[in-house]
Amino acid sequence: MSTFALAVHGGAGTIARELMTPAREKAYRDALELALRRGHAVLADGGAALDAVEAAVRVLEDSPHFNAGRGSVFNADGQHEMDASLMRGSDLRAGAVAGVQNVKNPVTLARKVMEHSNHVLISGLGAFEFAHKHKVELEDDQYFFDQFRYEQWKETVGTDVYKLDHSDKEKKFGTVGAVALDRNGDLAAATSTGGMTNKRWQRIGDSPIIGAGTYANNATCAVSCTGHGESFIRAVAAHDVHALMAYQGLSLEEAVRVVVHEKLPPLDGDGGLIAVDRAGHLVLDFNCTGMYRGHVGADGIFHTAIFR
């Protein structure tokens, strides 16, 4: 199979054009393109889709511009709690972590869970112990400190208000993700997030939940979601794209349209998703004003976008 394809996202939401300076837009687009380049290099060399999505998501986790890894938001206690998952479409193997701290690349820890445990999802201190055991790279709190994120948190600390990554004027669901098809016809998906600013009670969203925020199945497609996590969990959004294709025979484009524009809105499910099917067709769709996104195929042409 000569076809391969990759898409990435860096979050979706109410992204105001007037707040998007040229310098800021360039920073976002450069980070998205770098993620695409890392993943594309894996696929072009005949590598596995799972390796490609992990490589792409690691780039976005390393960037302070996105709410994942280094750019993660502060929780109610002024700490960072990160979630991530990935899934391989060939055998439906998956790994996920939730509420992890001081892990530089949570998506890599999720892969360790998939490959070196009998579990799918582990969390909190147990996940940190697992990371230490498997020599996953750790960083101290200062690595994750970002002044912009800190100011966001200071506006809400001591209240019951939580914020979805940016200010009220710019409500962005800060999750990053990637989906890929490799030359062998295998699909994979990965998603990573820092969650909500000022979140309490170790809240967990859709990103580490297989079927909600991440899903991959070689029979149909690979999906990574970004949006209001509670809504995507209730809609089982990622798996629903697969189900509409598998059980109703819908195309990828139509299945994504139904989920994003018909099923999620009644649940207050603002956001979007990226998906690729087994033929290499890519769909990047959202029901809000913008989604940080990019894609590349076997032609090696990199595309990035923010607004519709």
- Host H or E run for residue 283: strand 282-286
CA separation for the pair 190, 113 (Å, rounded)? 13
CA separation for the pair 100, 106 (Å, rounded)? 8
Both structure tokens of 112: 């360790």
- The greatest distance separating any two alpha carbons of the chain, rounded to the nearest whole angstrom, comes to 55
3-state class of 236 per DSSP? Answer: coil
3-state class of 265 per DSSP? Answer: helix
Catalytic residue (one of 108, 156, 159, 175):
175
The answer to whether residue 175 is catalytic is yes
CB 118, CB 142: distance < 8 Å? no
CA distances to 24, 147, 206, 217, 219 from 239, rounded to whole Å, are 34, 37, 12, 9, 12
Q: Which residues are catalytic?
A: 175
